[in-house]
Homo-oligomer: A and B are copies of this chain.
Amino acid sequence: MAVAKKEATSGWEWRMRVDNETLSKVMSPEEGPYMISRVLLGLKERMFSKPLNFLKKAWDLACNDPRKVIHCLKVGLALTAVSLFYYVRPLYDGVGGNAMWAVMTVVVVCENTVGATLSKSLNRICGTFLAGFIAVGVHWVAIQAGEKSEPFIMGVSVFILASAATFSRFIPTIKARFDYGCMIFILTFSFVSVSGYRIDKLFDMARQRLSTVFIGTSLCIIISIIICPIWAGQELHTLITRNMDKLANSLDGCVAEYFISNEEDSTGSQKGCGKNLLGYKCVLNSKAPEESMANIARWEPAHGRFNFRHPWKQYLKMGTEMRGCAYCIEALNGCISSENKAPEHLKTRVSNICLELSSNSSSVIKELASIVKTMKKSSSIDFLAEQMNSRVQGLRNELKFLPSLVTPETPKEAGNVQDSKKTKENSVGLASASLMEIVPLATLTSLLIENAARIEGIVDAVEELADLAQFKPVADDEHIEDETMKTLQRG
Contacts and interface: CB of A to CB of B under 8 A. Distances in A.
Interface of A: 2-4, 6-7, 12-13, 15, 20, 22, 24, 54, 57-58, 61-62, 68-69, 71-73, 75-77, 79-80, 83, 86-87, 92, 100, 103-104, 107-108, 110, 151, 154-155, 158-160, 162-164, 166-168, 170-171, 183, 186-187, 190-191, 194-195, 197-198, 284-285, 287-288, 311, 313, 327-328, 330-331, 334-335, 338, 396, 399-403, 406-409, 427-428, 431-436, 438-440, 442-443, 445-447, 449-450, 454, 467-468, 480-481, 483-485, 487-488
Q: Quick one: copies of this chain in the complex?
A: 2
A86 B331 contact: no
Given A107-B183, A481-B24, A68 B331 contact: no
Contacts of A164: 72
A7 B484 contact: yes
Contact of A187 (B107, B183, B399): B107
A291 B443 CA distance: 33
11 contacts: A2-B480, A6-B480, A68-B167, A72-B163, A80-B159, A80-B162, A87-B151, A107-B183, A108-B187, A407-B431, A443-B447
Nearest to A86: B194
B13 A484 contact: yes
Given A2-B480, A3-B487, A408-B427, A159 B77 contact: yes
A478 to B, nearest CB: 10
Given A187-B104, A194-B103, A431 B445 contact: no
A255 to B, nearest CB: 16
Given A72-B164, A75-B166, 16 more contacts: A20-B313, A86-B194, A103-B194, A104-B187, A107-B186, A107-B187, A107-B190, A285-B287, A288-B288, A331-B447, A331-B450, A335-B446, A399-B435, A399-B439, A407-B432, A439-B442
